[in-house]
């Protein structure tokens, strides 16, 4: 897909329970949107249901040219405003692509506390090859944490430690000791 240089991704604050409606309405207005979701189990007294749950509740991503009028976006039912207020702050393309890669990978993803600083790694192999993020070690399982800086939100996905190499000069021995 060819993308014009002025067209960037922006985050919209939305009413959480209206995420699918906002997504469908934006698409109907001709905008490209991205609502990353993961599978979660909801348990009721009589049943368990697997549903698609937004990875970033209260937010949706939309790609548009900031020079265009924003009224059609802001008038969409469920849209509360732009993240950043009156100043439009674009989301870096590599952050959106990292989240897209995780969603497409089929690996188990989940919400994760935002991690601003940490040991950055590069994924060399597997379904996430080519993206970078921060590795954490939880319950003897390695997870890749990918963050959307503007939202100060992160998601985590389980990975094989063999897929990972340090993004900088850090040694894997230092990682293993964490």
> Residues 6 or more apart from 1 whose CB is under 8 A from it?
none
State the Cα–Cα distance between residues 159 and 132, nearest whole angstrom.
12
> Residues 6 or more apart from 53 whose CB is under 8 A from it?
37, 38, 39, 40
- For tokens 């100043």, name the residue: 87
> Residues 6 or more apart from 120 whose CB is under 8 A from it?
132, 133, 134, 166, 167, 168
Can you give the pLDDT at residue 110?
85
Which segments of the chain belong to CATH 3.30.70.940?
Answer: 8-82
Superfamily of domain 8-82: NusG, N-terminal domain (3.30.70.940)
DSSP tag of 91: B
Question: Please, what are the averages of pLDDT over each run of 10 residues along the chain (178 residues)?
Answer: 74 94 96 93 87 93 90 94 89 94 90 67 88 77 87 90 70 39
Which segments of the chain belong to CATH 2.30.30?
Answer: 93-177
Can you give the pLDDT at residue 175?
41
Can you give the pLDDT at residue 39?
87
């Amino acid at each position: 897909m060819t993308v014009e240089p002025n067209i960037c991704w922006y985050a919209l604050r939305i009413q959480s329970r209206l995420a699918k409606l906002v997504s469908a309405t934006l698409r109907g207005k001709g905008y490209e949107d991205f609502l990353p979701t993961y599978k979660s189990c909801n348990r009721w007294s009589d049943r368990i249901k697997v549903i698609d749950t937004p990875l970033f509740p209260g937010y949706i991503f939309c790609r548009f040219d900031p020079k265009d009028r924003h009224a059609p976006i802001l008038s969409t039912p469920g849209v509360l405003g732009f993240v950043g207020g009156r100043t439009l702050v674009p989301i870096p393309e590599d952050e959106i692509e990292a989240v897209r890669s995780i969603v497409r990978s089929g690996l188990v993803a989940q919400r994760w506390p935002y991690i601003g600083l940490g040991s950055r790694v590069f994924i060399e192999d597997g379904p996430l090859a080519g993206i970078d993020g921060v590795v954490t070690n939880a319950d003897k399982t390695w997870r890749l944490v990918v963050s959307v800086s503007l939202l100060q939100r992160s998601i985590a996905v389980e990975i094989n430690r063999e897929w990972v190499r340090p993004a900088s000069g850090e040694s894997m021995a230092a990682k293993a000791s964490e």
